[in-house]
Each structure stands twice: as C-alpha cells, then as structure tokens.
A and B are shown apart, each in its own frame.
Chain A
Amino acid sequence: MSDQSAQAEIVRNSLKRRYRKERRFRLYGILAIFIALASLFILFADIIGKGHTGFVKTTITLEVVLDSELMYLDDPTDADQRSMADFSAPIIAALQEHFPEADSAGEKRELGRLIGTYAASEIRDLLIAKPDLLNSTQSIEFPAHDRVSVYVKHPDNSQYSIKLSEQQQRWVDELLEKGVIDTSFNDVLFSRGDSREPANAGVLGAIVGSLLTMLVTLAIAFPVGVAAAVYLEEFAPQNKITDFIEVNINNLAAVPSIIFGLLGLAVFIGLFGMPRSVPVLGGMVLALMTLPTIIISSRAAIKSVPPSIREAAEGIGASKMQVVLHHVVPLAMPGMLTGSIIGMAQALGETAPLLLIGMVAFIVDVPGGFLDSATVLPVQIYLWASSSEQGFVELASAAIMVLLTFMIIMNALAIWLRKRLERRW
C-alpha cells in the first residue's frame, strides 16, 4: 500500500515538471509567432508611414494669361517660333499677380522655382494642341516643384531637409492660405511612366511592363512546367537519367536569380541577338527562373492524386494517356495553379536578373507591346530608391505598396483557386 502511494507521489511530482515543460514549449511558439508578426507589422508600418504621402500630390493652380507678347509667340503651330518662345513667362506673371512686390529679376526666378520643372512644356503642349487658346486666360493646375512639395507635405520631418529660401517659404505659406497651393490624390502616379521630376513620375509604365513580362512568363513557364511534371511523374522510366534530371531540377530551384540574368544576357541577347530591355526577354528569363518552382509543385500535386482514382480508370480500360488527361491532370490542376501563381508572385518581385538584361533603363513611355522597352515594378522601386531627389523616396515606398497589393491579390487568387477547385474524395 505504501509502495503504491509512493509511486503516485513520484508521478505527481513528474506531472508538475511535464506541465512546466509544456507551458515553456508553448511560450516559445507564441514568441516565435509574435516575432514574425512584429517584423511584418514594423515593415508595413514603415512602408506605409513613408509611402502614404506618395499618394498625395502638391499642385499650384494659377490663372494664366497666355499672352502672345509675353511669350514672343504669334503662331503656336510654327515650330521655329515655338523654339524661340518663352513659355515660362506667363506662369511667372500669374504668380506675380499674387505677389506684386516681387519684381526684381532674382525674385522672379525664385518665384518660378515654386513650379515644377516641366510646367513650361505643359503650356507649350497645351498651345500645340489648341492654338486658338493664345491670348486667352486659363485656369491651369501645375505640379508644384519637388522642394515645395517636400515643404508642404513634411514641414516638421527631420528626415527631409527644406531647401526653400525663407522668402519662398513665406510665399508658399501665403499661397497655401489662399488655396492656390493645394494637395490632392496623386493621379499622376497611376497615369504616367517614369520621369526625372518626382511630381511627374508614375508607376503605370512599370505596372504595364510587369504585366507584359508576367504574361510572357506564364505563357512559357506554365505549359512547359506542367508538361515536364506530368512526364516525369507519369511516363518517365525509373532510371539514372531520370534521377539525374530530377536532382538538377531541384538544384535549379536553388540557383541565385542573378545567374538566370547572366544566362539571358549570354544566350538570348548574345547568341540569339534579341533586343534588350523588352518584356519578351524579361519574361523568358523569369520563366526559366520560375520553371523549377512550377515543376516541383506540379509534381507534388500529381503525387497527391489518390491512386484509387488511377486504378478506377485503369480498371475500366483507360489507356495511360487517358488516365493522365481525364483524371490525374484535372484533379492536380488546383495544386498546379497554386504553385504557378506563387512562382509568378516570386517572379513579379524579382529584380536582379532583369538588371542584367537592361530592364533597368530610364523609360518614360508606357510600353505598348511585348517588344517595347519597358521596366518592371521592383526595378522601378530600385531606381527611385537610389535617386537623389527627396520626392522619389516617398514614391518608392508608394510603389512598394502597389507591388505588395499585386502580391496580395495573386496570393489571394491562389488561395481562392485552391478552395474553389479542390475536390474531396
């Protein structure tokens, strides 16, 4: 009897220790999740904190008198006259309306620097499009100069340095009060390509470039990847060559992406003489990079098709081909699609290989086709992040948010497809 109670005592003591261990183990787990979530939160907070102002633009709205005498321009359709004309004069004149006291040449120049660099060419473009607007008065919204924009958006931020003179700051304050300088949603960001001027720079060119590149990647990588997976899983004989191919596909998945860029440079550009910087080339390089991911996930999806379905089809007398095409591939499709979308999301965020094949060029125009020079979102972010103008810092963060949005959409699509197409048996 005492023996039993002693044993019970030992068990009771060990119980406490066991529960303590379990609690500790759980704590580690919670800690790990907490660290992961905290990192994610900090990352997002930083990007959104820096980037939300990228979605806001600073504009100056002026009543501009398009005076032909002021511009030395009688006929806007005459190219010779245009090249001699001074399109910035009416803008400065319009600003002077607000500050009549500033009439020295130096002060005029200071006033002109409140407006974005490309304001004069905006007026020129307007007159070319509508020559009869000459000598009329137009209310035109100009993007403010980068320095004004920084002063308006980040008045007390130590990370930004205010580069306006004290007189310019007084002018801007006054114009802000009058409502001449205003902030609004940055539609430029989504309607234009890159620019040297932050106020005129947009991600549309990069978005279209990314889409075109991804289309090429998908069109190459998905059929090739699925076909390779089906062959390896269903038809390939079990021998040394197959093993060798399998090992190499797995190795390929671990190859640094920049190597694929070198390959693209050497083979596609060097050997085949393909044009640089075009979505077709970028798509082909990214397709090579994505292939192993698609093959590996597709093979896993094919493996997970229950053998009972295969047997059922074989038992009725379906040929190997019919078993694969009628049953295995349709049932594996959700897994294949999920893997492909995740591979594509990876490719969407890839920068390194594209730098090597010239997709890092400064391209203003939104690409119109697969053979137009283009850049992609992550490269655009890289370009902006390494620019000197302060306005590009927030634009880079804004572009990161756009890129992340696309990633989230793609991953959500993958989850939705899996849920939607998944069959239970």
Chain B
Amino acid sequence: MNTMNPSIAAKANMQDQGAEIPVPADRPEDTIIEEGRTVGKPFVDDPKFKLRNVSVSYGSDRAIKDISLDIGRNEVISFIGPSGCGKSTFLRCLNRMNDSIDICRVEGQLLLDDEDVYHSKRDVVELRARVGMVFQKPNPFPKSIYDNVAYGPRIHGLANRKSDLDEIVENSLRKAGLWEEAKDRLDSVATGMSGGQQQRLCIARAIAVSPEVILMDEPCSALDPIATAKVEELISEMSESYTIVIVTHSMQQAARVSRRTAYFHLGHLVEVNETDKVFTSPEHQLTESYITGRFG
C-alpha cells in the first residue's frame, strides 16, 4: 500500500475504519454500505490489474458502484456474492466483454500492466488475446476438438506451420488435463463430449493463445462434482503461470482454489481478504452473514 497515491491511501484508511462501524447483526440486508468503502486488503504490490473507482451502469441503472481493487500477478482471486451483486459484470469489464452491450457504460480507471484497458486507441482483440475467458456454460464451437483449440492460434497467427499448431494444441490439451482423453478423437465433434470435458476444452482453448490472465465466470456451475473437482485441480495447477479471476457461487470452491476472496454486495465491493481470513474471521458483518448462509 505504500506505492499508493495519497487520496487512495486516505480512502483505504477510511475503509479500515469502516469495519468498526457497528452493524445490526440481525438485519444484514438493511446495512447501509458507503460507496467506495471496502474493508480488508484490496490493494497489493505490483498488481497485474489495477482498478480504481470503477463504476458500471446499464442506462440509468448502476450495477457496479465505485469499486477499487488490485489483482496480483499469478494469483487466483475469487469473486463471491449473492446473485445480481455485479460480480459477473465486474469480471466482464476486465476484458471488455461488455462492449457489445450498447447501453453499458464503464467509468473509472482499469489498468492492465499500467496500460488503460478502456483507452480509446486500445485494440480489444489484442486485449482479449491477453485476457482470456471461460464461461459459465461450456461453449465449444460445433467443430472438431482440434479446431476448437486451434482456432485462437489460427486467428492470431501464432503458428506458421502445421507442426507448430499441432504442438500448441497438444500442449494446451495437456495443460487442461484433456490430452489423454482426447488424443485419439481430435477430429470428432467437440459438442459430443461430456459437460466436464467440454469445459476443460474451453479452458484449453483459452490457454492456447497463451493469455496472461484467465477470467472464469462460474466455470463449474453446470458441472457435476467429479468434473468440478477436475476443473478445480486444473485451476490450482494453472495458478503457477496465470493470473486467474474466478466468479463462483460455491464458497467451498472459492476456499479451495483462491488465495484472495472478494465479497460483492449489491454492486459494492464489501470485503477483500486472504481467503482463509474471509471464511474464518470476516471483517464485515455482511460478509459474515453471507458465508454463514443467512442470505444469498
């Protein structure tokens, strides 16, 4: 926090004090959250993503209210919170997937390696090659397994020779733990695989363009427990070389895979802390109410 500019440091200070404001424990929904106040440790040294005072609105409806957060290099951070709290909307700002929604307006500062994500000259294609995404529902293209993984490298021109492409496909599938299952059926249609395999294929597809950050929007919500376990294992392995932001409804999942956890509530970022701290001794009353299942 020492590299922060004074105004933000002051704000962070206030946030620390914010935890001491007494909150009526029996009526957590009535708690008034002051805008831009986040308890815990939202900021880290040398962040991959530096997000300051980010607000997102759909027309006149403000979905994200003045959120400031750092996402560290090669860290896994999970976003949790009740439905409609804006965690997916916030995630989609990170690689500008909200661009296709005409009424969506993003304000504030979003820096990826100190470069403005929403700069007018920023090429969104280049951004998405660096910040990949995995979606809630497995969405492989109705093409062969090989073509699914090879699509990204092909459009970005990452492989000049067929042998290079083959190598990228194999490596990506290996990293996604799908190689052994898929190596004999690379030419069969991807939509014929099981849901868990499809999701791991989507992860392989995202890895194939060698992104720096991977955004995952509830990647396991459509999968059974065994497939979920495999994907989680994969996320843990990937955390060595990628920055991963994962939105999840499952608190166990957040606890298992992530180093830090951010709790969102009605468009506010309420608390960010080390994952075990969030789940064992949350600082904010709302966080505690949510993780103890009083609402959600």
A residues adjacent to B (C-beta < 8 A):
238, 306, 308-319, 322, 326-327, 331, 423-425
Contacts and interface: CB of A to CB of B under 8 A. Distances in A.
Contacts of A322: 155
Interface in B97-131: 97, 100, 102, 125-129
Interface in B12-33: none
A326 B141 CA distance: 10
B206 A424 contact: no
B152 interface: yes
Nearest to B189: A423
Given A311-B139, A312-B139, A312-B202, A317 B155 contact: yes
B56 interface: no
A308 B135 contact: yes
A238 B102 contact: yes
A310 B133 CA distance: 13
Interface in B183-234: 191, 202, 205-206, 209
B125 A309 contact: no
**In the complex, which of the residues A238, A315, A318, A326 has the most CB atoms of chain B within 10 Å of its own CB atom?**
A315
Given A309-B139, A311-B135, A425-B191, 16 more contacts: A308-B137, A311-B97, A311-B133, A311-B139, A312-B140, A315-B97, A315-B133, A316-B205, A317-B125, A317-B126, A317-B129, A318-B155, A326-B155, A423-B142, A423-B191, A424-B191
A316 B209 contact: yes
B273 interface: no
A87 to B, nearest CB: 69
A315 B132 contact: yes
Contact of B155 (A309, A311, A316, A425): A316
Nearest to A319: B125
A312 B129 contact: no
B95 interface: yes
Contacts of B140: 312
A317 B209 contact: yes
B290 interface: no
Contacts of A319: 125, 155
Determine chain A's interface SS by DSSP, over half rule. Answer: helix
- The 10 tightest CB contacts between A and B, nearest first, are A315-B133, A317-B128, A308-B139, A317-B129, A316-B152, A312-B139, A423-B142, A317-B125, A319-B125, A425-B191
Contacts of B205: 312, 316
Nearest to B136: A308
**In the complex, which of the residues A306, A311, A312, A425 has the most CB atoms of chain B within 10 Å of its own CB atom?**
A312
A315 B141 contact: no
A309 B143 CA distance: 11
A423 B139 CA distance: 14
A370 B112 CA distance: 61
Contacts of A425: 139, 142, 191
Contact of A316 (B128, B137, B142): B128
B156 interface: yes
Given A315-B135, A317-B209, A327 B141 contact: yes
Nearest to A331: B142
A158 to B, nearest CB: 62
Nearest to B103: A238
A317 B152 contact: yes
B151 interface: yes
A102 B95 CA distance: 100
A238 B101 CA distance: 11
Contacts of A315: 95, 97, 128, 132-135, 206
Contact of A314 (B100, B126, B202): B100
Contacts of B141: 309, 312-313, 327
A425 B193 CA distance: 11
Nearest to A237: B102
A316 B215 CA distance: 11
B142 A312 contact: no
Contacts of A308: 135, 137, 139
B142 A314 contact: no
Contacts of A316: 128-129, 132, 151-152, 155, 205-206, 209
Contact of B156 (A311, A317, A327, A424): A317
Given A238-B102, A312-B135, A312-B202, A318 B142 contact: no
